[in-house]
Amino acid sequence: MSALGLMGVLGGCGGGGSSDVTLKLVAADYGDSAANSSEKYWADLVERYEADHPGVTVDVSVHSWTDVDREVKEMVDAGDPPDLAQIGAYADYAADGLLYQADDLLSIPVQADFLSQLASAGQVDGIQYGMPFASSTRVLFYNKELFAEAGLTPPKTWDDLAANAEALKAEGVKYPYALPLGPEEAQAETMQWLLSGEGGYTDLMGAYTIDSVENVETFNWLKNELVGKGLTGPVAPGELDRAEAFAAFAAGDVGMLNGHPSLMEMAEKKGVEYGMVPTPGADEESRSTLGVADWMMAFKKNGHRDEVGEFLDFVYSEENVLDFSREYDLLPVTNSASRAMSASGQDKDLEPFLDQLPTSELYPVGTTSWAAVSAEIKKRIGKAVAPGGSPAGVLGAIQAAATRAESAE
């Protein structure tokens, strides 16, 4: 995600009659430079929409991911929420009764087009408030040149991965397996590993199970078989951020790591030949992988329900979802756009991620305690694999914090 600090306002020119409506949308920037800022995507979309809806003006302000959630929170706290926000989380606003339900806004075909697990993740108490806007999954990336030099084939199990890492270390590879458990995005790497060990953050009922037997076993394995054997590189996992790990992969210094679609372009720009395979599991390929989604939500404060709904139907048309997904190497959030992407030769590089999407699991974003739990994971999880660290102790402490956060809801 971009952290450019770019901020712009895109406006249309609806007429000045008393029946005219201006919709305010605050959106996140997915670009990594001024040239591909999300401002351009929204400017084009809004221009096309306003041409067919003369009474409606859509003002879009685009902010970096560093700033956008805070910007929306400040607007809400000041009693002046935007009509629409496209940001990282929706549950707090839904719990406070500030959001429209999705079925009060969207036409039935549009709402039914969302991928089912993304629509479910947008629900609080069985009612959808969060509309998925962008999604991605994770696969294991590996450096083809380093693998060829060491005579390796891609791993399918944890034991394969550890053996490959040993061989890469013997060849002098700096990061045989990069394990970013630093504060930037530790919750993602952690969940990917927990899922591959048949665990996860919650049970089927949505209760936190962070210190489950399966999860403790997974982190014991990581600590003893990877980190303890010096197979994760010179930076302690608890101090390695995802951005640094990705940059090291693009520099040719990493044998294997979990990655999402944006890593493809980073590696290609630096001339690194890479392969991608499903996440290895304890005994076989992992049956589930991490899915991540960002969210669109509509605030009730200003009214404009009909205009917001019509605009969102346009935003979620197959053409617009495909355009956005292709521009930023992300996965479509709708069935129609996913089918179109699967059938199109131009999207072949995203196929491994698309294949994973139906069985992906998302963070428990529908619970308001998740933000606090995620922060706790980022702060503590690196200590679980540190020398002298106790996976059971660290996971137990995070579970205790999750239980407190849940009871405070």
Print pLDDT tens along the chain (409 aa).
Answer: 433 333 344 443 333 333 699 999 999 998 877 788 899 999 999 999 999 999 999 999 999 887 888 899 999 999 999 999 999 889 999 999 999 999 999 999 999 999 998 999 999 989 999 999 999 999 999 999 999 999 999 999 999 999 999 999 999 999 999 999 998 889 999 999 999 999 999 998 889 999 999 999 999 999 999 999 999 999 999 999 998 999 999 999 999 999 999 899 899 999 999 999 999 999 998 988 999 999 999 999 999 999 999 999 999 999 999 999 999 989 999 999 999 998 988 888 898 999 888 889 999 988 889 988 998 999 999 999 999 999 999 999 999 999 999 887 6
Q: 139-278+369-407, superfamily in CATH?
A: Periplasmic binding protein-like II (3.40.190.10)
Token pair recorded at residue 89 = 């989380």
User: In 181-205, which positions are buried (b, 16+ CB within 10 angstroms) versus exposed (e)?
Assistant: bbbbbbbbbbbbbbbbbbbbbbeee
Asked if residues 99 and 240 have their Cβ atoms less than 8 Å apart, the reply is no
Residues 374-388: tens digit of each pLDDT: 989 999 999 999 999
pTM for this structure?
A: 0.84
User: In 58-85, which positions are buried (b, 16+ CB within 10 angstroms) versus exposed (e)?
Assistant: bbbbbbbbebbbebbeebbeeeebbbbb
pLDDT reported for residue 358: 81
pLDDT reported for residue 409: 67
Location of each CATH 3.40.190.10 domain in the chain: 8-136+293-362, 139-278+369-407
What secondary structure, in 3-state letters, does the chain show? CCCCCCCEEECCCCCCCCCCEEEEEEEECCCCCHHHCHHHHHHHHHHHHHHHCCCEEEEEEEECCCCHHHHHHHHHHCCCCCCEEEECCCHHHHHCCCECCHHHCCCHHHHHCECHHHHHHCEECCEECCEEEEEEECEEEEEHHHHHHHCCCCCCEHHHHHHHHHHHHHCCCCEEECCCCCCCCHHHHHHHHHHHCCCCCECCCCCECCCCHHHHHHHHHHHHHHHCCCCCCCCCHHHCCHHHHHHHHHCCCEEEEEECCHHHHHHHHCCCCEEEECCEECCCECCCEEEEEEEEEEECCCCCHHHHHHHHHHHCCHHHHHHHHHHCCCECCEHHHHHHHHHCHHHHHHHHHHHHHHHEEECCCCCCCHHHHHHHHHHHHHHHHCCCCCHHHHHHHHHHHHHHHHHCC
Asked if residues 121 and 293 have their Cβ atoms less than 8 Å apart, the reply is yes
Amino acid in position 357: L
**Angle, helix 186-196 to helix 370-380, in steps of 10 degrees:** 90
Token pair recorded at residue 35 = 């040239």
Token pair recorded at residue 160 = 């394969």
Token pair recorded at residue 397 = 């402490």
Torsion of CA 200, 204, 206, 208, to 10 degrees: -40
User: From the CB of residue 267, how many other CB atoms can be counted at a distance below 10 Å?
Assistant: 21
CB neighbour list of residue 388: distance below 8 Å, 6 or more residues apart: none
Asked if residues 258 and 404 have their Cβ atoms less than 8 Å apart, the reply is no
Token pair recorded at residue 303 = 């009214």
Asked if residues 98 and 300 have their Cβ atoms less than 8 Å apart, the reply is yes
How far CA 402 is from CA of 201, 213, 364, in Å, comes to 10, 17, 12
pLDDT reported for residue 19: 63
Asked if residues 232 and 177 have their Cβ atoms less than 8 Å apart, the reply is yes
Rounded to the nearest 5 degrees, what angle is found at the Cα of 135, between the Cα atoms of 130 and 138? Answer: 135
At the topology level, CATH places domain 8-136+293-362 in: D-Maltodextrin-Binding Protein; domain 2 (3.40.190)
Q: Which residue has the tokens 């380093």?
A: 146
Interstrand relation of 175-177 and 254-259 (parallel, antiparallel or unpaired): parallel
Asked if residues 280 and 196 have their Cβ atoms less than 8 Å apart, the reply is yes
pLDDT reported for residue 157: 97
d(CA 62, CA 45): 14
Residues 6-24: tens digit of each pLDDT: 334 444 333 333 369 999 9
